[in-house]
Structure 1
Amino acid sequence: MTTAFISPLPQEIDDLWERRTELTPDHKEARDIIVGAIDDIDAGGARVAFVDEATDEVVVDERAKRSILLGFRVLGMEESKVGDFYHHDRIPLKTRFDGVRVVPGAIARWGAYLAPGVVLMPSFTNIGAWVGSGTMVDTWATVGSCAQVGKNVHLSGGVGVGGVLEPPQAAPVVIEDDAFLGSRTMVVEGARVRRGAKLGAGTILTSSTRVFDAESGEELARGEAPAWSVCVTANRVKSFPGGDFGMPVLLVLKRLEEGQEHDKLALNDMLREHGVNA
């Protein structure tokens, strides 16, 4: 964490974290502090992580993650009902949807921030997540706990954006502005999709995934889809004692002009040349 960053959440959260094993739903004062902190995350006043523009590093607000983890200690199990569906959980469903379109079947938990202009098709958004304005979370897509999704992002059907709560200092998945994730793409383990990157259907990206440029053969930063690029999952042969095997890598097919908007037809044509769809 950069030294200049100061969490907007109360310092009492850190004190409560040090004695977290003692906490139960009966501790009303602690519960009020923790609920207030999570409510601030839910409203967008605080967030689990963000990209520092000065350093280009992902800064994690450990106090925000601690607030969420503490919530599981001080919130009791409660039954709730939505139509004919019953729920039994410690974390209630989100109720703050100012300017957000929520299609029936979409689920968002309290503690997830959804900016005005977000569209939720039947999907799941977990606690601590942050989703920027103009972003589409398409059908059966999942935004995991504490995942950070920027503005004007398209998460296609069945996309899985992984979550992370523990350890508190661990960086979550970050999907930056203007990114496009094709159907059934999986981005997990704190991987990062940089601004404007387009990932073809079925792409797998983890923090340890090796990344290669298709034109130069150069190996790029692991676990990152470069800004303004078109990427797919490919295989690179690696020799083992038992034989040669194809190991998954991320292949950068093409570099886009900075600011190039989503043109799904053009993107599909580009990916089909390589046997992949968006």
Structure 2
Amino acid sequence: MRMSDVTVVPNAPTGAPLPAAIDELWDRRDTLTTDDRAGHAVVTAAVDQLDSGVSRVAAVDPVTDEVVVDQRAKRAILLAFRVLGLEPSEAGPFRYHDRLPLKRTFDGVRVVPGAIARWGSHHAPGVVLMPSYTNIGAWVGAGTMVDTWATVGSCAQIGRNVHLAGGVGIGGVLEPASAVPVVVEDEAFVGSRSIVVEGARVRRGAKLGAGVILTASTRVFDAETGAELPRGQAPAWSVCVGATRSRSFPGGEFGMPCLLVLRRLAEGQTFDRLAIDELFRTHGVAT
């Protein structure tokens, strides 16, 4: 992702502002301990805001189309590991020993046995969590399905009506506090066992076939024209698959991974799942 597509500010307009006391604690983070009760109160209140969705780590600015990162939110999460002590917890027969408790509030969310979500992650009403994992700071929008064995990494931002298919790996990022998280926008589909990491961006309505690897530096090409598109981004309302592009090295010719845009969809076009499956199969790709 180009840095021109990213704005990092100390307290970004991504929801209710977090208190300036977070910055003060950050400046003396090396001296913080679990005995700092005042710091504990500030940090837990901030992470509660992320958990409820009142605040969020990052969002796409609807005016500039840039990813806006709230650096203060990232700092609050990192500070939690300094002011929170290791505590035992349990879920049914399972036992845990961690600084962060599991998430407890799931208003309007379906949570299938085996799903794990950490406190500080937000799931909007209508989300379905199959046996999966959502890390702290992540945001999952209304109507989204996080399918079996899918992982939503720390601070990843997943939009509304998204389907993360089985085994999808959405990368997380905590440090540095200015690092850009993965953003998967509304109406997107990410096929089975795909990996989206390093602040890559799946734009609105994009459909990724199975096994796609998308990083911030992945080259993206249009199959119809051969034109190279912005790196690390699946274009909006497009159908994409993983591919390779030949590159010469001293040791010979090798295929380097890239993302291939097979088709463009009309903006807002809804595609029947069976039609998507058939399109991918035509090109020898499963979903």
**In which range does the TM-score fall when normalised by the shorter chain?**
over 0.9
Partner of 2:3 in structure 1?
Answer: none
Aligned ranges 1:73-222 → 2 under 5 Å: 73-222=82-231
8 Å contact kept, 1:180–1:262: no
Is 1:63 aligned to 2:55, yes or no? no
Is 1:40 aligned to 2:46, yes or no? no
8 Å contact kept, 1:107–1:125: yes
Partner of 1:270 in structure 2?
Answer: 279
Shift, 1:53, TM fit: 1.0
Corresponding residue SS for 1:222: coil
> Which range moved further: 112-121 or 5-14?
5-14
Partner of 2:31 in structure 1?
Answer: 22
Shift, 1:261, TM fit: 1.8
Structure 2 CA distance for aligned equivalents of residues 36 and 219 of structure 1 = 45
Corresponding residue SS for 2:23: helix
Equivalent AA in structure 1 for residue 284 of structure 2: G
Cα deviations by residue, 1:226-273 (Å, 9 ceiling, x for unpaired): 000000010000000110000000000000111122421101111111
Structure 1 CA distance for aligned equivalents of residues 141 and 240 of structure 2 = 22
Residue 12 of structure 1, aligned match among 9, 18, 21: 21
Partner of 1:232 in structure 2?
Answer: 241
Shift, 1:84, TM fit: 1.0
Structure 2: unaligned runs, 5 residues or longer: 1-6
8 Å contact kept, 2:8–2:70: no
Structure 2 CA distance for aligned equivalents of residues 189 and 101 of structure 1 = 29
Structure 1: unaligned runs, 5 residues or longer: none
Shift, 1:5, TM fit: 3.9
Structure 2 CA distance for aligned equivalents of residues 262 and 36 of structure 1 = 41
Corresponding residue SS for 2:245: strand
Structure 2 CA distance for aligned equivalents of residues 268 and 251 of structure 1 = 17
Structure 2 CA distance for aligned equivalents of residues 49 and 234 of structure 1 = 30
8 Å contact kept, 2:8–2:71: no
Structure 2 CA distance for aligned equivalents of residues 193 and 271 of structure 1 = 18
Equivalent AA in structure 2 for residue 257 of structure 1: A
Q: 1:262 to 1:140 in 2, by over 3 A?
A: farther
Residue 258 of structure 1, aligned match among 251, 267, 281: 267
8 Å contact kept, 1:137–1:156: yes
Structure 2 CA distance for aligned equivalents of residues 105 and 117 of structure 1 = 18
Structure 2 CA distance for aligned equivalents of residues 217 and 196 of structure 1 = 22
Corresponding residue SS for 1:261: coil
Is 1:249 aligned to 2:280, yes or no? no
8 Å contact kept, 2:60–2:66: yes
Is 1:51 aligned to 2:60, yes or no? yes
8 Å contact kept, 2:12–2:71: no
Corresponding residue SS for 2:256: strand
Equivalent AA in structure 1 for residue 58 of structure 2: A
Shift, 1:44, TM fit: 0.5
**Aligned sequence identity (%):** 68
Shift, 1:82, TM fit: 1.1
Shift, 1:83, TM fit: 1.2
Shift, 1:2, TM fit: 6.4
Length, aligned pairs only: 278
Task: Please report the RMSD computed on the Cα atoms of aligned residues, expressed in angstroms.
Answer: 1.1
What is the TM-score when the length of structure 2 is the normalising length?
A: 0.95
Corresponding residue SS for 1:26: coil
